[in-house]
Amino acid sequence: MFVIGCIIGGAVLIAAFAAYGLPYPLLPARIFKNTPYLMVVFSGLFITVSFYLNSFPWPIAAAVLYPGSLLSVGWITTCVGAGILLGGILAGCFVKILGHHKWQMIIYNCIGASFWATMAAANPGNKSTSIAVVVLAHTGVGAVECIIYTLAMLLCDPEDLSLSFGVMASFRTLLAPVATAIYGSVLTYKLTINIPKYVIPVAIEQGLPASEIPPLIQGLSTGNPSVLKGIAPNIIAASFTAFQHAYTVTFRLIYLSCLSWGLLAIVFACFVPNMKNYFTDFVGKKLQGREIEALMEKQSNFSHLEGRSQQVEERVEDA
């Protein structure tokens, strides 16, 4: 109910914002009539939603599937940001050289979507593979973000540069939290089903009394060892393996569902225009260089002449 209430409340606020902006629109209608711009925005929007959906389960997966010290788990979770930065650097270096920006968008979106779907195979036995897949998936996202921030502003009029960036960021801010809230609720709901489903049979098979089941599940879920006092170590070990399997099954659903967002991003990327003609060496306004130095010298000479003429006028008036 809390998630549904937040979504409904957000929808009401958005409607109120639109009604408030009718007399003096903060978002001019012309920005929504620019089809190439919208294709770029929507392609980046859906692949970025997948990034947000993966940014919250991966730290949980790192802690549960690959337990260790706080430092080791922390390093594993940084794979998300590392992939984003790597993709942005690579795309920034080659976005002009490679050209064919539509195909760049399609390829990077395919990389992100395919490797996110591959994350459905993550389990406690393939730690290194999972880390590599996470880095590659977010490398695709970082590359897409780098490209859309460049193309979106090139596709708008000069007076709409800041507006184009703001609209793109607003769309992402609007959709990503809604999707994250929905998938977060799905994750919590599925865990409440899968943890008892896989842990209880294993614990009972190992000889744990039924009365000790709730403390066992609580201790495994919270990571509080004091709750597990009195339970045999072999029962805890077997139950923790089943606990990890419950998370593996649940994460599989989340990661496979991200494939749909990636497919939407690929579809919109197919309509992104080729922007080769926009990537030139022309600079509209220069702040330094020979031309600027010559202009500054002319302005200095003109100011000097003005000063001398003013002095002459003052002497004439004194005479």
Print burial letters for 230-269: b (CB count within 10 Å at least 16), e (below 16): ebeeebbebbbebbbbbbbbbbbebbebbbebbebbbebb
Q: What is the pLDDT of residue 204?
A: 83
137, pLDDT greater than 70? yes
Domains of the chain by range and CATH?
35-276 (1.20.1250.20)
Share of the chain above pLDDT 70, in %: 76
Confidence class for position 49, pLDDT limits 50, 70, 90: confident
Which range has the worst mean pLDDT, 52-56, 140-144, 234-238, 239-243?
52-56
Q: What is the pLDDT of residue 23?
A: 55
Q: What is the pLDDT of residue 305?
A: 47
Query: Taking the model in full, what pTM does it have?
Result: 0.73
pLDDT tens digit sequence for 88-130 = 888 888 877 777 778 888 888 888 888 878 888 888 888 888 8
Q: What is the pLDDT of residue 312?
A: 46
- Residue 204 vs residue 309, higher pLDDT: 204
pLDDT tens digit sequence for 247-303 = 888 888 888 877 777 788 888 888 887 777 767 666 666 555 565 566 566 556 545
Q: What is the pLDDT of residue 286?
A: 58
